[in-house]
Amino acid sequence: MKVSVARRNLFSDRTRLAISVGGVAVAILLILILLGVYKGLIDVSTSYVDNVDADLWVAQAGSRSMTHSLSLISPSLEDELMTVDGVSEIHPLVIRPTTVEINGKENDLRVAGYHPETGLGGPWNIVEGRGDPGPGEIVADRVLVDTSGLRLGDDIEIEGRPLRLVGVSRDTYVLIYSYAFADIGEIRDSLGPDRVNYFIIKAADSGRLHQIVAEITAGYPGLEIFTKAEFAEINARDIREGFLPILGVLVVIAVFVGMAIVGLVVYSATVERTREYGILKAVGASGRTLYGIVFQQSVLSGLMGYGTGALLAFAVAALLETLVPQLTISFSWTHFAGALAAALTMSLFASYIPIRKINGIDPVIVFKS
């Protein structure tokens, strides 16, 4: 009885059902897109560190991220650190933030200077051209190339020095800036010959990482050393601390909007059938039975809205990434599990007001008029 009555009430007015499902779908869509954008930001903020094939990162003491602090190290330390027991390879990196003007538009870059013959610190996903820039050459991100109208063979002027575009990479755009890649000799001149930003270390035995960290920390107090996972987390923290509070507020707003829409629709259906609920009470239906009818209406609306919103999320994400190539949207199964929990939460709380209405129904109304 509960299921048939709940479904009849819900599907009797298709317009009202569409409003209810649409309200939940919009809320779920918003939640999923927000979570996808957030995960996309985290993914791209750590993409460079994640894709550098190194076990340890060495930075200047006090330098806590690649975005909001500056690390300067003497290149002469390279030979000294190479003597640390367990170190297999060590390579310098220069990560140079700069602004370039292309076709009248300013673009923020992080130019990574590395040794192309090793590949360590260079681009990891080449979609056009070469990924091993030589002297006077550069590899740039596809977002920069597409939005600036660049083509292979064009020059990009880095602080007064023209570098010829020989390759296009992807997955190297981070919110407001993109990575570009050049031979370290081209970029070190801007810092001065006696400075690099980082050393990356490959260990002979990954089981000895803690000993290597301890020895370098003890012997070189001016340096700070991180495992790959630690350095990725440090760079992700900047995004997390800046965007997570805003994201949380928007998700809560989306949940309340969906909850309000479902609640109003179910309440309207309950008011229209006050007499029917009174009949059910008069013939002995328990409060639990009546509450179950209302709750099932809410849950059905919530689940239908969740399914619609989840499907729309993929289409909207693809559209947004096409319209805004700087945007990266990345979903995970936890997002969809969380959105399902949000839909069920909306359904649960949306049932509250209609249930109160049922509580107030007097079965005597059945015998009036």
φ, ψ of residue 115 to 5 degrees: the values are -90, 105
What pLDDT sits at residue 97?
84
What percent of the chain lies above the pLDDT cut of 90? 12
For the cut 90, the answer to whether the pLDDT of residue 166 exceeds it is yes
| Spans of all domains in the chain | 2-45+237-367, 62-221
What pLDDT sits at residue 245?
76
Confidence at 177, pLDDT banded by 50, 70, 90: confident
Q: What is the pLDDT of the chain when averaged over all its residues?
A: 81
> How far apart are alpha carbons 19 and 26 in whole angstroms?
10
- Contact between 93 and 197 (Cβ < 8 Å): yes
Among 80-94, 252-266, 337-351, 355-369, whose mean pLDDT is lowest? Answer: 355-369
> How far apart are alpha carbons 112 and 247 in whole angstroms?
31
> Whole-prediction pTM value?
0.74
Closest CA to 335 of 24, 40, 36, 44: 36
Confidence at 108, pLDDT banded by 50, 70, 90: confident
Confidence at 3, pLDDT banded by 50, 70, 90: very low
pLDDT in tens, 25-67: 888 888 888 888 888 888 887 888 888 889 999 988 887 777 7
Confidence at 204, pLDDT banded by 50, 70, 90: confident
What pLDDT sits at residue 315?
93
- Contact between 208 and 86 (Cβ < 8 Å): yes
What pLDDT sits at residue 126?
92
Q: Which residues contact 137 (CB under 8 A, 6 or more apart)?
A: 163, 164, 165, 166, 182, 183
Top pLDDT among 354 and 344 is at: 344
Confidence at 343, pLDDT banded by 50, 70, 90: confident
Q: How many CB atoms lie within 10 A of CB 184?
A: 19
What pLDDT sits at residue 208?
83
For the cut 50, the answer to whether the pLDDT of residue 1 exceeds it is no
- Contact between 182 and 133 (Cβ < 8 Å): yes
Most confident range, picked from 103-107, 139-143, 238-242, 262-266: 139-143
For the cut 80, the answer to whether the pLDDT of residue 98 exceeds it is yes
For the cut 70, the answer to whether the pLDDT of residue 276 exceeds it is no
Most confident range, picked from 87-96, 101-110, 186-195, 228-237: 87-96
Read off the pLDDT of each residue in 153-169 and give the average, rounded to a whole number. Answer: 88
Top pLDDT among 123 and 280 is at: 123
Q: HEC string of the chain?
A: CHHHHHHHHHHCCHHHHHHHHHHHHHHHHHHHHHHHHHHHHHHHHHHHHHHCCCCEEEEECCCCCCCCCCCCECCCHHHHHHCCCCEEEEEEEEEEEEEEEECCEEEEEEEEEECCCCCCCCCCCEEEECCCCCCCEEEEEHHHHHHHCCCCCCEEEECCEEEEEEEEECCCEECCEEEEEEEHHHHHHHHCCCCECEEEEEECCHHHHHHHHHHHHHHCCCEEEEEHHHHHHHHHHHHHHHHHHHHHHHHHHHHHHHHHHHHHHHHHHHHHCHHHHHHHHHCCCCHHHHHHHHHHHHHHHHHHHHHHHHHHHHHHHHHHHHHCCCCCCCCCHHHHHHHHHHHHHHHHHHCHHHHHHHHCCCHHHHHCC
